[in-house]
Amino acid sequence: MNYGFAKILAVIILLGAIVGCSGDGTAGRKPTHAVQGTVTLAGAPVANATVMFTPAGSDQRVATGQTDDNGKYTLTTYDTGDGAIVGEYRVLVIRSAKKADTGKAVTDHDAFQKARASGSDPTATGSHDAAESSAGSVSSLPGKYADVDSTDLTGIVEAGKENVIDLKLEL
């Protein structure tokens, strides 16, 4: 083998490896489909909440979104607003509020106030503010929507369909 040919071959192999490793990061991604909807609680829009579609299947990824002032969200899996992978999901909705010095949640949520007025403790385990994070915040929405085992919200994402999945939360 001629030295010049070996050198050229080595450069070609090296360039091939560099080009192969510098892809745009989309290799292996499953296609996503636009998903949007509105989150409401007792008929009122839920602003500033995180919506999380947790996959039922192992070949899916979690998709998340944030509600705006009108309770509207758009899901993201890989890139902002790209949607979710086809399949069935359990849906979580969490809106965090910082704890006060008392350890109870500080929220502006009407449902929190209604629960307190009805005599129940909305910060008790299993009730409205049970979903506590390690960051010292709690969900200001009913706790069942913050746990994949207790949420009754589901969504099905389909290819070639307009995936509008409205989420109606109950007290």
Confidence check: pLDDT of 55 > 60: yes
Q: Region 8-27: what's the mean pLDDT?
A: 53
Check if the beta carbon of residue 123 is closer than 8 Å to that of residue 108: no
Question: Across the strands, what pairs with 84?
Answer: 33
Confidence check: pLDDT of 58 > 60: yes
Average pLDDT, the chain: 75
What pLDDT shows up at residue 76?
Answer: 97
HSE-CB for 107 with a 13 A CA cutoff: 29
* Domain range 32-169, its CATH number among 2.30.30, 1.10.10, 2.60.40, 3.30.2010: 2.60.40
Beta strands in 27-86 (DSSP E): 32-33, 35-41, 44-45, 50-55, 63-66, 72-74, 84-85
Tokens of 131: 């979903």
Q: Given the DSSP bridges, would you call strands 35-41 and 167-169 parallel, antiparallel or unpaired?
A: parallel
Long-range contacts of 113-117 (CB under 8 A, 24+ apart): 114/171, 115/171
Q: Region 49-78: what's the mean pLDDT?
A: 94
For the chain, the domains span 32-169
Nearest to 63 by CA among 145, 155, 134, 166: 155
pLDDT tens string 31-44: 999 999 999 999 99
Angstrom CA distances, 149 to 63, 117, 146, stand at: 17, 28, 9
